[in-house]
Structure 1
Amino acid sequence: MGFTKLVEEFRGGVLENVHYGAVCVVDEQGRVLYRAGDPEHLTFLRSAAKPFQAIPAMKRRIDQVYGLTGPETAMFAASHRGEAYHIEALESMFRKMGLSEDDLHCCASYPLNEDAKAERIRNREPKRRLFHNCSGKHAGLMGLSKHMGWDVKTYYEPEHPVQQEIVEALARLSEVPKESIASGIDGCGLPIFALPLRNIALSYLKLACPDRIEDADTREAAAEIAKRMNDHPDMIADRQFVCSALLKDDNLAAKGGAKGVYGIGLRKERIGIALKVSDGSELVWPCIIASILELLGYGNRETIDRLYALVPNEIRNDGGTPVGERRAVFQWEG
């Protein structure tokens, strides 16, 4: 599958675990600058697709149509963790857009964050569709469908106009023909797409550097959603997660997805990065991304340190005692 060792984990000096995967770095023409593993590995974007799935709604300036705030608009691209401020924003969005939570296609769940989940359970609250981490993305698609006069109740179907517009936007940014984009069904029930890592990296470069997008409406929409993500990073995940930690850096456009996929665009350097952890681990994202930035000579040490603080390379047991370490072991190939 073209994977290489990315991270090794040691306990008591003994190698306990190895995380394999692939990393690809491209320039603004989509040429591979650096790689570890196969840059053509076909990868489902999962939630890393959310900024691109928000583009059709931003083209119509749904935020202005319904009077949404900046933090509320950022929820279109969020994998929120169900904190109280996320749910308050979502409830406000649904009121402003005149939508029903019952029409959300994502299933009822509890928040992803354990503390937020425990609080809802202590309060004897039932699972809600709004608690699902993808509900903000769904809300944007529902709001667009309502505005355009499309069927709000079937927005998740692949043939629905909103889904067709998403594929078209992704094709523009990835430079993969629409008919060649592989698809499946995501965990939240929406269509999701698979691209080579190289094309995911190129898509994130264009999200960070929208002047590389030829279509003017798509260019403006991509710039708008990327700005909301940087302006309101804690809406995209929460205060203790890698997406929000990266988006605090205005030079980066970044979003991760389930099963270990991550995309990053660097504005000043005009490069795109995509990675895939083969076992799907998200715990090793900070180690890998910090190491990528270090290998690239990235100038903002604060961002790198923030990643290491989020998930230290020192491994501690449940009592807080140091018991091992994790190390990024990949080097650029070819």
Structure 2
Amino acid sequence: MTHPVSLAEIWRGPRPESVHLGHAVICDAGGGIVEAWGNPDEVVLPRSSAKMIQALPLVASGAADSAGLGPEQLALACASHNGAAIHTDRVGRWIAGMGLGDDDFRCGAHMPWDKPAHDALLCSGTAPCQVHNNCSGKHAGFLTLGRHLGGGPDYIDLDHPVQRAVMEAFETVTDAPSPYHGIDGCSAPNPATTLRAMARAMAWYAGAGEDTAEERAARRLWQAMVAHPDLVAGEGRACTELMRACSEPVALKTGAEAFFIAILPQRGLGVALKIADGGTRGAECAIAAILVRLGVLDPGHRAARRLCNAPIINWRGIETGAIRPAAALA
């Protein structure tokens, strides 16, 4: 078995001080490995990087069209958003249009990551609602699909029609049975798969045409993400900044515990990576380096410089080191 390899390094002085080890795979539309680092067959939980797969039945079933959902809602269904007003207002209107409210979510509440929204709640002494959860767009999609399929209110249960549809979609696009599942931070099941299978799934999204309902759904989802990078994450977030920075359409999505995917439609490629220690800074540096390597991100772009070869500044404003991609990615 291949062990994780260095993907990102923290330099201080003449040598690395810390190293983020991990695995990364680039697949083509046929599922072949174009490049790999570490172990392509490492079994992983893709966490929120799988949201576009979890949203596939929402679109392919006709539920999205029946509910009148547009690209903004589809982007939010794939999002781990900041909980800013641009996110919560849209999700709130979405579920209100179905006659539903915050209590119908099953994702739980947490403080928004968006600073103005966070500060507004603190200053007013108001507790966050479930709509502030970064996964509320995904859960609005689950509610929409659940209504379309005639399921009950507990749409996160593994045997609910929504989750059965998600699991079927997941195993179809990864072309592999899921060996187990974990429960995500938002309480929904998260199927496990190999890194190679996840990259293959992203390449399938990249190459999706118009032949089947599933392919048309995949195209609509990545197109929605690319059209609305601000809804997929938010200001200051790597997903949003890198999608804006790429020289061609690229859909990007982070996942908890340092997972990241990329969908490159013009090249028919999919990328999946996992940093073994769960360090987000390592995953962001590695995905930026891979985008530079593939020629879709200018290494001099501000977003690339912030994540890849970024200086580390101390409290006196002195540059003390840097976050760099490992030599294997450079």
Normalization by structure 1: what TM-score? Answer: 0.91
Q: Which residue of 2 aligns with 1:290?
A: 288
Q: Which residue of 2 aligns with 1:275?
A: 273
Please report how far the alpha carbon of residue 222 of structure 1 lies from its aligned counterpart in structure 2 after TM superposition. Answer: 1.0
Q: Is the contact made by 1:208 and 1:253 (CA closer than 8 Å) also made in structure 2? A: no
Aligned positions of 1:175-324 closer than 5 A: 175-177=175-177, 180-211=178-209, 216-248=212-244, 249=246, 250-296=248-294, 298-301=295-298, 305-309=302-306, 313-324=310-321
1:136-183 Cα deviation digits (max 9, x unpaired): 1011111111133211x1100000111111111111211113xx4421
Q: Which residue of 2 aligns with 1:174?
A: 174
Question: Which residue identity is paired with 1:168?
Answer: E
Matched, 1:123 2:120: no
Q: Which residue of 2 aligns with 1:139?
A: 140
Runs of at least 5 residues in structure 2 that lack an aligned partner in the other structure: none
Q: Is the contact made by 1:81 and 1:237 (CA closer than 8 Å) also made in structure 2? A: yes
Task: State the Cα RMSD in Å.
Answer: 2.1
Q: Which residue of 2 aligns with 1:36?
A: 37
Matched, 1:76 2:77: yes
Please report how far the alpha carbon of residue 245 of structure 1 lies from its aligned counterpart in structure 2 after TM superposition. Answer: 2.2
Please report how far the alpha carbon of residue 67 of structure 1 lies from its aligned counterpart in structure 2 after TM superposition. Answer: 3.0
Cα pair distance change 1:258/1:299, threshold 3 Å: closer
Question: Which residue identity is paired with 2:150?
Answer: G
Question: Which residue identity is paired with 1:70?
Answer: P
| Number of aligned positions between the proteins | 326
Aligned partners of 1:247, 1:319: CA distance in 2, in Å? 32
Normalization by structure 2: what TM-score? Answer: 0.92
Q: Is the contact made by 1:283 and 1:311 (CA closer than 8 Å) also made in structure 2? A: no
SS in 2 for 1:173: helix
Identity %: 31
Q: Which residue of 1 aligns with 2:326?
A: 329
Cα pair distance change 1:311/1:240, threshold 3 Å: farther
Aligned partners of 1:48, 1:304: CA distance in 2, in Å? 24
Runs of at least 5 residues in structure 1 that lack an aligned partner in the other structure: none
Aligned partners of 2:315, 2:309: CA distance in 1, in Å? 14
SS in 1 for 2:182: strand
Aligned partners of 1:100, 1:75: CA distance in 2, in Å? 17
Please report how far the alpha carbon of residue 330 of structure 1 lies from its aligned counterpart in structure 2 after TM superposition. Answer: 4.2
Cα pair distance change 1:27/1:230, threshold 3 Å: same
- Greater shift, 64-73 or 279-288, is seen at 64-73
Please report how far the alpha carbon of residue 51 of structure 1 lies from its aligned counterpart in structure 2 after TM superposition. Answer: 0.4
